[in-house]
Amino acid sequence: MRIMLHGWDTSHRMGVPEICDSMTSIVKKMGHEYVPNESKVICAEAIGFLGYDNLTDDFAKATVKEMEEKVSKYDIDLILTAYAAPYAAWSKEREGFLVKRGYELPVPIEHIATFLYKNLDKLKFKELDMTVLMHDGCTLGRKMRVADEPRKVLEKIPKLKYVNFDHPELYVKERDLKPWDISACPGGWLDFTLPELMPYVASNVIREYALPREVDTIVTTCGNGYHAFKAGVKHGGFDIKAMAYPMLIDMALEGVQ
Amino acid sequence: MIDDVVQEYTKRIIEYGAKSEKVRIALSRAIKAFENNRRNALGMFPQSIDTAKEVRKIKEYSIEHMDKLIKKACESIERNHGHCYYAKTKEEALQIFKELVGTGKLIVKSKSLTSEEIHLREFLEELGNEVYETDLGEFIVQLMGTRPTHILAPAINVPREDVAKLLSKFMKEQGIIEEDLDERDIEAMVAVVRKFLRDKFFKADIGINGANALAADTGTMFIIENEGNARLSIGAPPVQIAIVGVEKIVPTIEDAFKVTEVTWRYANYTVPAYVNLVSGPSKTGDIEKVITYGAHGPKELHVILLDNGRTRMHEEGYNEALYCLRCGTCLYECPVYAVTAGFFGQQYMGGIGAIWDAFTTVGLEKASPVAYTCVRCGKCKVMCPLNIDIPDMIAKLRNDARKQGYIPKVVRDFAAEVEEFIKEQK
Ligand code: SF4
């Protein structure tokens, strides 16, 4: 398969190229070819909730046009992303925001977690003797309910243990809240709206929710969230690592059977 | 100009909120206490979870029939020998207060966000009245000369050490104490405020209160509290004036019970110390069944129903904001509020506060940076008893702000890049 990696520009612009590195590595280990999508395209839903709904349709059309060109030029089979927003906007399977608005990408889009889950039988992992704190991105977990998939993949990694990010025991069982309902956001989107505030929010989320759990790594399914956690770790001077979901997977993935 | 507004707001939220260790520590303590209390309250009374669903329906109906309910509530209040007023704007409300209160009065006030919305205390003070906030948190905020930073716990960002210093200074000046208060001794701090305010309750000419709900069919106001200050403010002075937002009106007294129950449960009380129900002035018929007003409580009751942008909120599609019970859950759950307290907001607070600020206090331009402080993570919606879709309204508010040219520069620049991309593709 030839896979277009989406979110390339965003990752580089935010100073988290390691997301791209791990995505590239995973794709290669799985025996696929990759093409980075270096354009500024983000999901056209985000521009709407940033206050520019007037650009949503034009942006969606422009995105489709660019994707059609690239798909035919590079013979792309799939678009893959570590970010939740483009998946939430464009996934046909999940009836994404823009799909409902009548737009369609020329090939399917997957989030790295759903992609790995769909290939779970084939994946070969080595042991990872560590315990991580699993953070569900707000869009992916709370909004889209994509929470089992990333966990099932983690469960396949020998020796790896994960604990959920929040303290579900603090909530009332009658409300039937899931860990992904209550997962606290480290404020990744603030980078687009009030960047000065992001490190404070992220470091406090780490301090309040992650440090008491006695794990050495936070792993998040949200690309923006990783960016925020990374800034929060630095800001707080904490002795804890942050990882984007594909970074952790890449550490364990050996290849496919 | 929007850029100046954003700059001023950013400076405030970063300097006084995010950078303050005091704010962070105080909130960390408060949030943990809140989580424990909520677990107890809802664990013990899980039926409130279903009642909340009913309350959502009650609120939906009430906001759709606001005009009718205002009329009915006023008729009920008048029937009970109270006086009812409708104020379309903040200015109209303050004019009514001016006429009712005049000058030179001693006034005790219980906590009311609606009164904060119109800067009532400051207005009455300017008229030459002596006004005391009687909720302990509000009293602290009044002494500090700042503004509340949580809708339930107005001084949530002030650690006990600062409260001790503040009260020591003030109470020594008032001759209530001679020695400084011990900063570990919260009980002593509470006692000294009790001593000071007790005298004011009984000397006051007027008591002012807000309400958590108002039943249109009986004209009954429901006022939840724990300290007992509201019932003293309501009961002791000869004149009572209430200021109630029109969104608080629900059709029946049964509805109002449900609204208040859900409010206090999600505000993390198993049961509050007091729920005050007030339908009219104090009266007795104990001598020959002749109804006489002003027995032990107030002889006069005035209820001012305040619109001040609420109808417009409804007309412009922000209905859900009007359902808000002010239970405070969304603030405690918000990761941004946890480091910024009420500095995330202008007068109201948090994501829901951005909507309220836009329509009722500072207007859309000043509410814009508040809307852009919300990360739209959606935890508030999940945790809100009425499932109010704050993220959705924030997106709408940002779009409204854009139409008026009230977008922060960092977002404008990003949108310009997107426009460039669109042009290239064309
Ligand atoms: S929006 Fe919901 S959670 Fe927040 S104060 Fe209002 S009712 Fe409570």
d(Cα B386, Cα B390) in Å, to the nearest integer? Answer: 11
Q: Give residue A9's pLDDT.
A: 85
Mean pLDDT in residue range B264-277: 91
CA distances (Å), origin B372, targets A85, B123, B354: 18, 31, 9
Tokens representing residue B229 in the block = 């200050």
Last residue of a domain, one of A86, A117, A148: A117
Higher pLDDT, residue B26 or A203: A203
Residues 6+ apart with CB under 8 A from B354: B345, B348, B367, B370, B371, B373, B374, B394, B397
Nearest C-alpha in A relative to B33: A170
Q: Give residue A112's pLDDT.
A: 97
Q: Give residue B158's pLDDT.
A: 81
Q: Total domain count for chain B?
A: 2
Is residue B382 located within the same domain as residue B264?
no
Q: Give residue B147's pLDDT.
A: 77
Each residue of B74-109: pLDDT tens digit?
A: 999 999 999 999 999 999 999 999 999 999 999 999
Q: Do B379 and A183 touch (CB under 8 A)?
A: yes
Tokens representing residue B383 in the block = 């945790």
Q: Give residue A213's pLDDT.
A: 85
Q: Give residue B22's pLDDT.
A: 85
CB contact at 8 A, B76 and B173: no
Each residue of A2-16: pLDDT tens digit?
A: 999 998 888 988 899
Average pLDDT of chain B is 95
Task: Please check whether residue B281 lies inside any domain of the structure.
Answer: yes
Amino acid letter for position B242: A
First to last CA, chain B: 33
Position in ligand 1 atom list of the atom nearest CA B384: 3
A49, A171, A182 ranked by CB distance to B395: nearest: A49
d(Cα B284, Cα B294) in Å, to the nearest integer? Answer: 8
CB contacts under 8 A, B 328-347 vs A, are 335-336, 338-340
Is residue B415 located within the same domain as residue B299?
no
Cα-based angle A157, A117, A232 (whole degrees, multiple of 5)? 70
CATH code, domain with B152? 3.40.50.10420
Tokens representing residue A77 in the block = 């089979």
Say whether the ipTM exceeds 0.85. Answer: yes
How close is the nearest chain B Cα to the Cα of A129, in Å? 31
With pLDDT > 90 as the criterion, what percentage of chain B qualifies?
A: 86
Is residue A251 located within the same domain as residue A134?
yes
CB contact at 8 A, B313 and B355: yes
Each residue of B81-90: pLDDT tens digit?
A: 999 999 999 9
CB contacts under 8 A, B 57-86 vs A, are none
Mean pLDDT in residue range A142-171: 89
Residues 6+ apart with CB under 8 A from A2: A32, A33, A34, A35, A74, A75, A76, A77, A78
First to last CA, chain A: 16
Mean pLDDT in residue range A210-237: 94
Is residue B357 located within the same domain as residue B272?
no
Is residue B97 located within the same domain as residue B233?
yes
Domain that includes residue B281, residue range = 67-158+205-311
Question: A-chain residues within 8 Å CB-CB of B377?
Answer: 138, 142, 184-185
Is residue B268 located within the same domain as residue B360?
no
DSSP lists the bridge partners of residue B303 as B84, B242
With pLDDT > 70 as the criterion, what percentage of chain A qualifies?
A: 95
Higher pLDDT, residue A228 or A165: A228
How close is the nearest chain B Cα to the Cα of A118, in Å? 27
Last residue of a domain, one of A85, A117, A149: A117
Burial B253-275 (b: 16+ CB within 10 A, else e): bebbbbbbbbbbbbbbbeebeeb
Q: Give residue A170's pLDDT.
A: 64
B410 touches A: beta carbon within 8 Å: yes
User: Within B65-155, where are the H helices?
Assistant: 66-79, 90-101, 113-117, 120-126, 136-144
Mean pLDDT in residue range B273-293: 96
Domain that includes residue A127, residue range = 123-256
Is residue B142 located within the same domain as residue B216?
yes
Statement: residue B264 has pLDDT above 80: yes
**Band of residue A168 on the pLDDT scale cut at 50, 70, 90:** low
The DSSP secondary structure of chain A, one letter per residue, reads: -EEEEETHHHHHHTT-HHHHHHHHHHHHHTT-EEEE--S----HHHHHHTT-HHHHHHHHHHHHHHHHHHHHHHT--EEEES-HHHHHHH-TTTT-HHHHTT---SS-EEEHHHHHHHTGGGEEE-----EEEEE--IIIIIIT---HHHHHHHHTSTT-EEEESS-GGGS-GGG---HHHHPPP--TTHHHH-GGGHHHHHHHHIIIIIGGG--SEEEES-HHHHHHHHHHHHHHT-S-EEEEHHHHHHHHEEEE-
Is residue A111 located within the same domain as residue A64?
yes
Nearest residue to A220 (alpha-carbon basis) of A148, A133, A149: A133
Mean pLDDT in residue range A193-201: 97
Last residue of a domain, one of B311, B341, B373: B311
**What's the half-sphere exposure (Cβ side, CA atoms, 13 Å) at B12?**
17
Is residue B336 located within the same domain as residue B304?
no
Statement: residue B325 has pLDDT above 70: yes
Mean pLDDT in residue range B28-45: 87
Residues 6+ apart with CB under 8 A from B195: B176
CATH code, domain with A232? 3.40.50.11810
Tokens representing residue A170 in the block = 């603090």
Each residue of B147-170: pLDDT tens digit?
A: 777 666 777 778 889 999 999 999
Is residue B249 located within the same domain as residue B135?
yes
Statement: residue B120 has pLDDT above 70: yes
Each residue of B392-411: pLDDT tens digit?
A: 999 999 999 999 999 999 99
Question: B-chain residues within 8 Å CB-CB of A48?
Answer: 395, 399
Q: Whose CA is nearest to atom 4 of ligand 1?
A: B330
CB contact at 8 A, B190 and B136: yes
Is residue A62 located within the same domain as residue A170?
no
Last residue of a domain, one of A57, A88, A117: A117
Statement: residue B342 has pLDDT above 70: yes
